[in-house]
Chains A and B, each alone.
Chain A
């Protein structure tokens, strides 16, 4: 097996609160190659904190520990602030849930993409501009030139999220972490965004971590799925083998969704076994 792109072993995220210490992520381990990995879980399962911890974006007063947290052989825990800065946004990028909050409202979309590019690549103005326009085209903007000079509030949610993806991919990262990238979007728009994301990821041979609460979506989009519950990975499986999930939590998650295909009534609900959280 080739050297993994990302190697995470025993990742823990703790929050020291006044009411006591809360462990949001409790010993997560996985390796990621140039593939699409899905992390699925319900709210409070620690899936988002896992993604943030990899990028070093754990909000204070959070504390991250891990036996190993290495990106392409670089130890992220020991790396200097400088190294981390060049990695972040350069070789590792992150797409957040809502473009409304992750784009700067007082800069045009084009300026933001140029800024993201120039922060990591030494490039002249004209070159950066060409790059940004090419990137907007790559995310299937109908009129890249026009979108380039628009402000974030002037575009729809789907376009905003595509602009966000353009901004995150302009530096040609090796790893993209997408945290619920389409939850704020309508279904038809989100399918379009996913299709674009899928194309770019496979074209450029990136690694992708796709974090979502939607088991159906993740399993249809990713190669491999980690199912998280109460801060732990309860099951890891190939997306195509989802039907053969062993863990009762994964099975329950799959069954409790109403489907168009068959009419189950009442819907099976999850009986949470306290042992799952141990």
Chain B
């Protein structure tokens, strides 16, 4: 050890000591220790914790939608008496033009939203990561070709390209997801490539090359893990945009098809009654707003933890 300055605080004890141990005894302890340190700096940011809370709430609501929702999200009540009712004790957020309980629809809509978010993340992130790291690591003509393809996708406005895809594939929630995923990977490829360019000339990559590692092994085992954190941050921050795009497609009638309780489509129906029955459009609008905000706050918090360079 070099003559490091001495910390003045007392040693932590118990579980914390185990997690923060400078001498982990197993792979798991080392990994958990890292995770704990990350959590500690994350939880120091109250807004990030609020964001995480919102996202967890969204997940819980989606899982237990059947239990939480008091009414069916699809079949409405009596069209003569229960149509467009304002928020009340029986219908917490009012009813829509089909006499359906808006609260139940929003609760079930969370499933659609989560479905979109998760699928887009699962499709777009790996594509972007792979294209970016391969392009950045190999360089040369591979880089040129892959990056020009990325540029082509980047040149289209997201919603317009998604519209074109949906128009070609036919409206529907699955096609909307594919369309959004296809339009959202290019920025990830860009980020991954920029990170890779910085990493690929570092000594630790040279060292693993000198051990005879194959190119796929270097990219997957050594480059990807380092790009992942900034990508996770970016994807989380993009979630809000993805939800809005999905809602936009739904609003235009190209996403989820009725009677599926999708928030964007719900806002679209509410548009007709915006002046007199404001709650029909406002309630799903608020849901979109809150969830988007939650993802943004979470992304900001994650950035501070995972990507200290980008933080102020």
Q: Which residues of A are interface residues toward B (Cβ below 8 A)?
A: 18-24, 41-46, 229-231, 272, 276-277
Note all chain B residues with C-beta closer than 8 A to A46: 5
CB atoms of A19 and B2 under 8 A apart = no
Closest B residue to A231 using CB positions? B5
A272-B1 in contact given A18-B41, A18-B44 (Cβ < 8 Å) = yes
Cβ contacts A to B, 11 pairs, < 8 Å: A20-B7, A20-B8, A20-B9, A22-B5, A42-B2, A43-B2, A44-B3, A230-B3, A231-B5, A272-B1, A276-B3
A272-B3 in contact given A18-B41, A18-B44 (Cβ < 8 Å) = yes
Note all chain B residues with C-beta closer than 8 A to A18: 40-41, 44
Note all chain A residues with C-beta closer than 8 A to B5: 22-24, 44, 46, 230-231
Note all chain B residues with C-beta closer than 8 A to A230: 3-6
Note all chain A residues with C-beta closer than 8 A to B1: 272
Note all chain B residues with C-beta closer than 8 A to A21: 7-9
CB atoms of A19 and B3 under 8 A apart = no
- Please name the 9 residue pairs, one residue from A and one from B, whose CB atoms are nearest each other, closest first: A20-B9, A230-B3, A22-B5, A20-B7, A44-B4, A21-B8, A24-B5, A229-B3, A44-B2
Note all chain B residues with C-beta closer than 8 A to A42: 2-3
Considering only CB atoms and an 8 Å cut-off, how many residues of chain B contact the other chain? 12
Report the separation of the CA atoms of residues A24 and B3 in the bound assembly, to the nearest whole angstrom: 10
From residue B228, how far is it (CB to closest CB) to chain A in Å?
A: 24
Closest B residue to A22 using CB positions? B5
Which of B3, B7, B8, B44 counts the most A-chain CB atoms under 10 A from its CB? B3
Report the separation of the CA atoms of residues A22 and B7 in the bound assembly, to the nearest whole angstrom: 5
Report the separation of the CA atoms of residues A229 and B44 in the bound assembly, to the nearest whole angstrom: 34
Report the separation of the CA atoms of residues A278 and B40 in the bound assembly, to the nearest whole angstrom: 31
Note all chain A residues with C-beta closer than 8 A to B3: 41-42, 44-45, 229-230, 272, 276-277
Q: Which residues of B are interface residues toward A (Cβ below 8 A)?
A: 1-9, 40-41, 44
CB atoms of B7 and A277 under 8 A apart = no
User: Contacting A19 at CB < 8 Å: which of B4, B6, B9?
Assistant: B9
CB atoms of A22 and B44 under 8 A apart = no
Note all chain A residues with C-beta closer than 8 A to B8: 20-23
Closest B residue to A13 using CB positions? B5
Report the separation of the CA atoms of residues A24 and B5 in the bound assembly, to the nearest whole angstrom: 5
Note all chain A residues with C-beta closer than 8 A to B7: 19-22
Report the separation of the CA atoms of residues A43 and B2 in the bound assembly, to the nearest whole angstrom: 7
CB atoms of B6 and A277 under 8 A apart = yes
From residue B305, how far is it (CB to closest CB) to chain A in Å?
A: 12
Note all chain A residues with C-beta closer than 8 A to B6: 22-23, 230-231, 277
Report the separation of the CA atoms of residues A20 and B7 in the bound assembly, to the nearest whole angstrom: 6
From residue A275, how far is it (CB to closest CB) to chain B in Å?
A: 13
Report the separation of the CA atoms of residues A44 and B55 in the bound assembly, to the nearest whole angstrom: 43
From residue B147, how far is it (CB to closest CB) to chain A in Å?
A: 28
Note all chain B residues with C-beta closer than 8 A to A276: 3
Note all chain A residues with C-beta closer than 8 A to B9: 19-21
From residue B48, how far is it (CB to closest CB) to chain A in Å?
A: 15
Closest A residue to B7 using CB positions? A20
Report the separation of the CA atoms of residues A18 and B37 in the bound assembly, to the nearest whole angstrom: 11
Note all chain B residues with C-beta closer than 8 A to A231: 5-6
From residue B17, how far is it (CB to closest CB) to chain A in Å?
A: 13
Report the separation of the CA atoms of residues A118 and B6 in the bound assembly, to the nearest whole angstrom: 43
From residue A225, how far is it (CB to closest CB) to chain B in Å?
A: 17
Report the separation of the CA atoms of residues A18 and B38 in the bound assembly, to the nearest whole angstrom: 13
Report the separation of the CA atoms of residues A41 and B8 in the bound assembly, to the nearest whole angstrom: 22
Note all chain B residues with C-beta closer than 8 A to A272: 1, 3
From residue A167, how far is it (CB to closest CB) to chain B in Å?
A: 30
Not counting A22-B5, A44-B3, A44-B5, a sample of 10 additional A-B residue pairs whose C-beta atoms are within 8 angstroms of each other reads: A18-B40, A22-B6, A42-B2, A42-B3, A43-B2, A230-B3, A230-B4, A230-B6, A231-B6, A277-B3
Note all chain B residues with C-beta closer than 8 A to A277: 3, 6
Report the separation of the CA atoms of residues A238 and B107 in the bound assembly, to the nearest whole angstrom: 79
Closest A residue to B40 using CB positions? A18
Report the separation of the CA atoms of residues A229 and B6 in the bound assembly, to the nearest whole angstrom: 11
From residue A250, how far is it (CB to closest CB) to chain B in Å?
A: 13
From residue B279, how far is it (CB to closest CB) to chain A in Å?
A: 45
Note all chain B residues with C-beta closer than 8 A to A41: 3
From residue B311, how far is it (CB to closest CB) to chain A in Å?
A: 14
Report the separation of the CA atoms of residues A20 and B11 in the bound assembly, to the nearest whole angstrom: 10
From residue B45, how far is it (CB to closest CB) to chain A in Å?
A: 12
Note all chain A residues with C-beta closer than 8 A to B2: 42-44
Report the separation of the CA atoms of residues A141 and B287 in the bound assembly, to the nearest whole angstrom: 68
Note all chain A residues with C-beta closer than 8 A to B40: 18
From residue A239, how far is it (CB to closest CB) to chain B in Å?
A: 22
Report the separation of the CA atoms of residues A245 and B3 in the bound assembly, to the nearest whole angstrom: 19
Report the separation of the CA atoms of residues A21 and B4 in the bound assembly, to the nearest whole angstrom: 13
Closest A residue to B4 using CB positions? A44
Report the separation of the CA atoms of residues A44 and B3 in the bound assembly, to the nearest whole angstrom: 6
Report the separation of the CA atoms of residues A31 and B6 in the bound assembly, to the nearest whole angstrom: 26
Closest B residue to A228 using CB positions? B3
Which of B1, B9, B44 counts the most A-chain CB atoms under 10 A from its CB? B9
Closest B residue to A46 using CB positions? B5
Note all chain B residues with C-beta closer than 8 A to A23: 5-6, 8
